[in-house]
Structure formats: structure tokens, C-alpha cells
Amino acid sequence: MLQYLVQGILLGGLYAIIGIGMSMVFGIMRLTNLAHGDLMILSAYLALTFCDLLGGNLLLATLFTIIAMVIIGFLIQAFLVNHVLSKGAEPALLVTFGISVFLANLLHNIFSADYQSLPNSLTNTQVISTDLVSISAIYLFSFVVAILMIVGLHFLMQRTNFGRSIRATSDDDMAAGLTGVNTKRAYVYAMMLSMAVTAVSGVLIGSTYTFNASMGSSYLIIAFGVVVIGGMGSLIGTLLGGIVLGVAQLLGSYFLGTGVQLLVAYLVLLVVLATRPNGLLARATRK
């Protein structure tokens, strides 16, 4: 039981990272990126490919993956999403849905349906190993990375001129324009930033679990769950959301068996969606 709880919390860190990129994009441009899961899986495959090319140097491969994903983020935002954002939420949603279908099938064609994993020395290392509880190094590492990223992004958003301009744009894009912000460009920056985070999440997921091309959509639901539970656009909330989902999933597997562990997480998500659509942390809803 304790083992499940601890692991659930640590898994929450990993889930938080998955959610951060989606949360940012939603918070800033009100876009639900349905391709988020597939972009994450794409990152994992990119890291795998770079790793092969670079002779197994995962750290360097991660760096290249981040760069590649930032470029992809730029392309998606500048050439696709920016053109439909003004037409309302649904066309933009459907564009990302199209990207999702495109990517998932493209990856399937290139890499086949075989399960892959990233070679990471942390995967099979235990940090703590007692009778009561054992902690895998990769989970702990992911948790620490999640906290570092949240703190880093929080600082960037709250304390810098760049972060302020992004917040201003998400708050009122017309007024942001009148202070000299090129709002379309701000959206592009936001997507690029989100993709950088997504790249990291892809590498961590690929190191922790096996993955294949069709898994994007289940990670999308997790990302969405994290974001909804934590409150759309709230960085600190994503950590809470990740932990809630992670613990729900592992307690589900403890009580009901591994087959239905995700079902429990989904049910928690549905309850939150129906009762607290603005997230657990949200104050009384403002109309």
C-alpha cells in the first residue's frame, strides 16, 4: 500500500511534466492541443533516433530532440494554428486533431507497431530498496525534473518581461497588442516553449515505459486529466493534478488489479470534469 502511494506520487511528477506543455498552450491561447500526446511520442522517437545516431548519448540526444521539437512547434503554430485561432475554439481543436491523426499514423508507418524504449541507465536503478518501499531512480528523477521545470517556468512567466508579455496576451490579446506585443508571435513563442517541455516529457516517458506510435492518445488523456484537475493554465496545479491521477491509478491497480488502473484514473478525471471544471485549486467560479 505504502509502496503504491509513494510510487503514485512519484508517477504524478511524470504526469505533471506531460501536462505542463498542454497547460501552457491552453492557458495562453485557449487551445486544447489534441496532438499533444502524439507530439510527445514523436519526441520519444526522435530521441531514440538521435540516440542511435549519436552512439547512445541520451543527454545529447535529448538536447537535439528539444531543438527539433521547438522547430516543429514553430511550424505548427506559425503555419497552421495561428490561422484558425481567430475562427473560434473548434476549428483550432480540429486542426490539432488532424495533426494528431497524421502524426500517429506517420510514426506507425516509419517505426512500425513494435514497442520501443530509450536506453537510460536510471531505468533499472533503485534509489531506495527496503521491504516496505522501493523507489526507482527514473521515477524520482522525473519527479525532480517536474519540480525544477515548474519552478523554472513559473519564474520565467512571473518575473521576466517575456513572461509578462505572454501572460498579458493570454489575458487580453487586443490590449497586449496596444502595448506593442506582436500577439501572433507571442503564440508562436508559447507553442515553441510548450514543445520544448513536451520534448523532455517524451524522453522521460520513453525512458520509463515502452512506447509505440498508437500510445499518443492515452497520454493525451492523462495530460488533459492533469490539466483539468490542476486547473487549466495553472503551472503549480499541474503537479497536484499529476499526483492525484498518479495516486488514483496506482491505488486502482492495488485494489482492483492492473487491468483497470487507468479506468480509475479516468473516473476520477470525469468526476472532476463534472463537478470542478475549473480544477481542484480554482476559487469560486467567476462568470
Partner 1 sequence: MSMLEIRGLNVNYGDFHAIQDVSMDVEANSVVSLIGANGAGKSTLINAICGVNKIRSGSVTFLGHDITKQKTSKIVSLGLTSSPEGSHCFEKMTIQDNLLQGAYLCRSGKERRKRLDEIYELFPVLKEKSKQLATYLSGGQRQMLAIGRAMMTQPKLLICDEISLGLAPVVIKDIYVQLEKVREKGITLVIVDQDVNRSLTNSDYTYVMLEGRIVMAGESKKMNIDEVNDAYFGINLEKKEA
Partner 2 sequence: MKFDGQTLAGNTGFKVGKKVLLVVVLLLLALLPMFPNSAYLVSTVTLIMIYMALGQMWNLLGGYAGLLSLGMQAFIGIGGYSLAVFSIDAGLNIFVAVFLGGVISVLFGLVVSPALFKMTGVYFAIGTWVVAEALMIFFSNWSVVDYAKGIMIRSVYFLTGEQIYYIAVLLGVISVLVVYLLMRSKTGLALMAIRDNPAAAESMGVKIFSTKLKCYMIACFFTGITGGVAYINLAYITPSASISTQWTIAMTFMVIIGGIGTMEGPIIGSIIYVALTQYLYNFPGISMTILGAIAVAAIMVVPNGIMGTIHNKTGFELLSPRRIMPPDWKKLLGVERAKEQVEAAGDKASKKE
By the rule CB under 8 A, 97 interacts with partner 2: yes
CA 34 to chain centroid, in Å, comes to: 11
Stretch that binds partner 2, among 48-56, 149-157, 200-208, 260-268 (CB under 8 A): 260-268
- What's the min distance (Å) between Cβ of 230 and partner 2? 14
Using CB under 8 A as the binding rule, the residues of this chain from 38 to 57 that contact partner 2 are none
- What's the min distance (Å) between Cβ of 23 and partner 1? 15
103 binds, among partner 2, partner 1, none (CB under 5 to 8 A by kind): partner 2
Measured torsion, CA atoms of residues 30, 34, 40, 45, in degrees rounded to the nearest 10: -140
- The nearer residue to partner 2, 13 or 279, going by C-beta atoms, is 279
Residue 127, C-beta contacts closer than 8 angstroms, at least 6 positions apart: 135, 136, 137, 140
* Helix residue spans in 126-234 (DSSP H): 137-159, 161-171, 173-178, 183-208, 216-230
Stretch that binds partner 2, among 45-53, 124-132, 137-145, 259-267 (CB under 8 A): 259-267
C-alpha cell at 115: 514497442
* Distance (Å) of CA 59 to CA 37, 117, 212: 22, 15, 21
In whole angstroms, what is the distance from residue 210 CA to residue 150 CA? Answer: 25
Q: In the set 130, 161, 275, 285, which binds partner 2 (CB under 8 A)? A: 275
Q: Summarize as ranges the residues that interact with partner 1 (CB under 8 A).
A: 161, 164-165, 167-168, 171-172, 174-183
Q: Write the DSSP assignment of 218-238 as a string of letters.
A: HHHHHHHHHHHHH-TT-HHHH
Q: How far apart are the first and last CA of the chain?
A: 42
Stretch that binds partner 2, among 12-20, 153-161, 166-174, 253-261 (CB under 8 A): 253-261
Site residues for partner 2 per CB under 8 A: 32, 80, 83-84, 87, 89-91, 93-95, 97-106, 108-109, 217-218, 221, 224-225, 228, 257, 259-260, 262-263, 266-267, 269-271, 273-275, 277
